[in-house]
Structure 1
Amino acid sequence: MLVLQKTFTGRTVEEAVQLGLSEMNVTENQVKIDVLKPGKKGWFGFGQCDAEVNLTIIDPELKKLADLNTTAAPAEKSRSVVAIQREPFIKDTSELKKSTAAELLKEQKPADGRLNISDNAEKTADYVKAVISALDIKVTSACRIKGNDITIELFSDEAARIIGKHGQVLNALQVLAQTYFQNIQKSFVTVTIDIENYRAKRKETLETLALNMAGKAKATKRPVKFEPMPNYERKIMHQMLTRMKDIETYSEGREPNRYLVIKAK
């Protein structure tokens, strides 16, 4: 049974965290880590105290799975879990970017750049839906425009597949949408693809994770490195920690493998 929250102990904070991640079968970006006790090494065995941390799952997909397990009847639980486990997530987004998208881009004629933003936003939404439909997923959309920011909201019964693991598929679709729109509009406009309010939930998760890992960096006195993530997600975490005077953040690596580092000053 999936546990949403649990406390773990170890000789150090790092050891306690790793024990918790292993037992709960999660990664650091899927949980909120609270350091309850930093632990003490002691002196010749005297005064030694184990570190204690509390891990709370914050990943929306895992929380949804836990809710299903809690509310479903015993017979329905197994069916729900199996259905989610068998959900055909797209693991390799390069297939989405290079093959399906390329073919559809050839089929769809770029719109006249003189058309207004609203018309081109709709054409971009149609392009994104065509890519998704090629994956045998039914989807509809609605466009919102505010200045030079366009949000294409998607609606589908298979939102999990469109989002993908940690938003990988949704992010790939957003790159395609941005590229397509710039090709037909010839002006700087930011295009965001969203579904089931995922972007707002992801922002909250990243902000919590940033504070979480800042605490870990201060407790362990060691830099905390994240998995590669898009520039706008790194920016969210940078902005969240910018007011912490005892913490610094910076990015390393090259796109698309650039990652965030949090370090105590």
Structure 2
Amino acid sequence: MDEAISSALDKLKASREEVEIDVISEGSHGIFGLGAEEACIIARLKNDITNRPVTRAHDAVSVIQEVIQALLDRMGLDAGVEYLPDAMVTEETGNESGMVFDILGEDLGLLIGRHGQTLSNFQYLVRILVAQRVGEYLPIVVDVNGYRQRRFKALETLARRTAEQVRIRRVPFSLEPMPAFERRIVHLVLANDPAVTTESVGVGEERKVVVVPREGLSK
């Protein structure tokens, strides 16, 4: 992180007090050097009007669509992108669903990848590129032919059915390993359930959600 800030100050030829810093990713050392990620920040001069964030939603949507379409074209994919303002995907924590953009086309399975991992990486790249353009990190969610929306509905149904079984049997139940965004959906769906609570266990690709009966409840 210190290296990223130092590099930004050098490029802007400014002191730390003259620059606003938005942290995109703090980076990670990984394990024995494996899985390491560099820190990523957005730096801009405080008094530079040209670097201020885009404030109009329409402008942000246009920029995001341009970035996604440019990436698709460079990848040689015959696909387009559509903004879905009312879509429910729930990629972000809390109750925010994010700005959902659906990529439409044929034979896009490779863009989704195993358990949606390739799509998650593509989405991360889109967020970084858009942040560089608009000056702020936006809660962008990228979907492919409605994959995330279908998965959201399936996980919502699974979470509620599992919670009902845990409530009746009064024993914990482990779901299959899931990527982070899918685990968030389960946590969010059951967040206010009076009979059960949820926790994530495991490491890496084996990390999964366990639905547990709340303490102090009678059978």
RMSD: 3.2
Q: Say if 2:71 is the partner of 1:128.
A: yes
Deviation at 1:238, TM superposition (A): 1.7
Write the letter of the residue equivalent to 2:67.
Answer: T
Alignment gaps of 5+ in structure 1: 1-97, 99-111
- The answer to whether the 8 A contact 1:226-1:261 is kept is no
The residue aligned with 1:237 is 186
Comparing both structures, which one devotes a greater share of its residues to helix? 1
Deviation at 1:164, TM superposition (A): 2.9
Q: Any idea what SS the aligned residue of 1:180 has? A: helix
Deviation at 1:263, TM superposition (A): 0.9
The residue aligned with 1:152 is 101
Aligned residue runs from structure 1 range 50-129, under 5 A: 116-129=59-72
Q: Say if 2:150 is the partner of 1:201.
A: yes
Identity across the alignment (%): 19
Q: Say if 2:178 is the partner of 1:228.
A: yes
Match of 1:187 among 117, 122, 136: 136
Q: Any idea what SS the aligned residue of 2:106 has? A: coil
Q: C-alpha distance in 2, partners of 1:254/1:179?
A: 26
Alignment gaps of 5+ in structure 2: 1-36, 38-49, 87-96, 215-219
Deviation at 1:123, TM superposition (A): 3.0
Q: C-alpha distance in 2, partners of 1:235/1:182?
A: 23
Runs of 4+ more than 6 Å apart: 254-257
Write the letter of the residue equivalent to 1:230.
Answer: A
Q: Say if 2:125 is the partner of 1:176.
A: yes
- The answer to whether the 8 A contact 1:174-1:191 is kept is yes
Deviation at 1:197, TM superposition (A): 2.0
Deviation at 1:204, TM superposition (A): 0.7
Q: Any idea what SS the aligned residue of 1:221 has? A: coil
Q: Say if 2:88 is the partner of 1:138.
A: no
Q: Classify 1:211/1:150 alpha carbon distance in 2 versus 1 (closer, same or farther; 3 Å).
A: closer
Q: C-alpha distance in 2, partners of 1:120/1:140?
A: 14
Deviation at 1:230, TM superposition (A): 1.9
- The one-character-per-residue Cα deviations of 1:63-101 (angstroms, maximum 9, x if unpaired) are xxxxxxxxxxxxxxxxxxxxxxxxxxxxxxxxxxx9xxx
TM-score of the pair, normalised by structure 1: 0.47
Decide which structure has the larger Cα Rg and report it: 1
Q: C-alpha distance in 2, partners of 1:120/1:113?
A: 15
Q: Classify 1:216/1:145 alpha carbon distance in 2 versus 1 (closer, same or farther; 3 Å).
A: closer
- The answer to whether the 8 A contact 1:113-1:186 is kept is yes
The answer to which of 244-253 and 219-228 deviates more is 219-228
Q: Any idea what SS the aligned residue of 1:204 has? A: helix
